[in-house]
């Protein structure tokens, strides 16, 4: 019973979000094909199990790399997009930045080459062994300039 309630709840969560029409927030990354618009993304039927491929899978599981073009994914699903792909997506959709998570970063965040994608990771010392920092991001309106805050894992002794 509880499992089914949570399953239905997750179907209601958005795949991505647009902040102040300038910042595109997504878990994974971009579509595996160029030219996709935010209007096309809005039309995705969110009320289903994520498929193994296609636009929904890309938004959930794709990654970014610092080399231009599309690359095979290290995850075996979707693809990895370079800075040129991210820049064209931003230009086509009139946005200034893509914010995503989905990957541990040593400093808690990392800006992709050309500055159009930031990966933010809020779990410090991931899996109790990575010794990475965690980070979060705030945006100052109206220009939506990102401000990063980093933190380390806390140790509680009982």
Tens digits of residue pLDDT in 31-87: 999 999 999 999 999 888 889 999 999 999 999 999 999 999 998 889 999 999 999
| C-alpha–C-alpha distance, residues 154 and 12, integer Å | 33
Q: What is the pLDDT of residue 157?
A: 64
| C-alpha–C-alpha distance, residues 19 and 97, integer Å | 10
Fold of the domain built from segment(s) 2-151: Purple Acid Phosphatase; chain A, domain 2 (3.60.21)
pTM, whole model, 2 decimals? 0.92
Q: What is the DSSP letter of 23?
A: E
∠152-125-154 over CA atoms, to 5°?
A: 45
- Residue 158's pLDDT band (cuts 50, 70, 90): low
Residue 1 or residue 147, greater confidence: 147
How many C-beta atoms surround the C-beta of residue 128 within 10 A? 7
Residue ranges per domain, the chain?
A: 2-151
């Amino acid at each position: 019973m509880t499992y089914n309630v949570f399953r239905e709840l997750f179907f209601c969560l958005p795949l991505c979000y647009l902040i102040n029409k300038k910042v595109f927030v997504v878990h994974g990354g971009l579509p595996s094909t160029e030219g996709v618009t935010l209007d096309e993304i809005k039309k995705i039927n969110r009320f289903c199990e994520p498929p193994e491929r296609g636009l929904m899978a890309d938004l959930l599981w794709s990654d970014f790399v610092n080399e231009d073009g599309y690359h095979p994914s290290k995850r075996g699903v979707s693809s990895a997009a370079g800075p040129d792909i991210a820049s064209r997506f931003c230009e086509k959709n009139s946005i200034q930045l893509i914010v995503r998570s989905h990957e541990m970063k040593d400093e808690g965040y990392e800006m992709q080459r050309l500055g159009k994608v930031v990966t933010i990771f809020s779990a410090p010392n991931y899996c109790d062994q990575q010794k990475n920092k965690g980070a979060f991001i705030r945006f100052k309106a109206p220009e939506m300039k990102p401000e990063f805050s980093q933190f380390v894992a806390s140790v509680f002794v009982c």
